[in-house]
């Protein structure tokens, strides 16, 4: 009899050090067959935080620093990732876009 592996090839996890000490600080947010779905989920995690905190940030750098201190940094696990999504690069670009949009209004 052959074992059937039902797990998906990709997962998105975030690190949360605010939980109980006897549990893993890694939280699995989802498993995916498609890399684009994993990337979309990772972007959504960053965007939700930025939307909530951007009104209180004076600049893109301030917002990025706040995210790096408090935000859940998504990690895509799986062999297909291979540098296809850089969360830090996305964070920098979105912080700039979010704060520029606010200044232009």
Q: Is the pTM of this model over 0.85?
A: no
CA distance 1 to 77: 29
Domain boundaries, the chain: 35-104
Paired tokens of 105: 């209004």
**pLDDT tens digit at each of 105 positions of the chain:** 444 445 788 999 998 776 678 888 889 999 999 999 999 999 999 999 999 998 888 899 999 999 999 999 999 998 655 678 899 999 999 999 998 865 544
Task: Write the burial class of residue 53 (CB in 10 Å: 0-12 exposed, 13-18 middle, 19+ buried).
Answer: middle
């Amino acid at each position: 009899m052959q074992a059937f592996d039902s797990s998906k090839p990709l997962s998105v996890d975030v690190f949360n050090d605010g939980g109980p000490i006897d549990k893993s600080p890694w939280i699995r947010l989802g498993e995916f067959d498609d890399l684009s779905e994993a990337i979309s989920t990772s972007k959504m995690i960053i965007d939700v935080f930025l939307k909530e905190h951007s009104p209180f940030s004076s600049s893109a750098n301030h917002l990025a620093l706040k995210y790096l201190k408090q935000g859940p940094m998504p990690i895509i696990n799986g062999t297909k990732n291979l540098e296809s999504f850089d969360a830090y690069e996305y964070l920098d670009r979105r912080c700039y876009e979010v704060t520029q949009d606010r200044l232009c209004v």
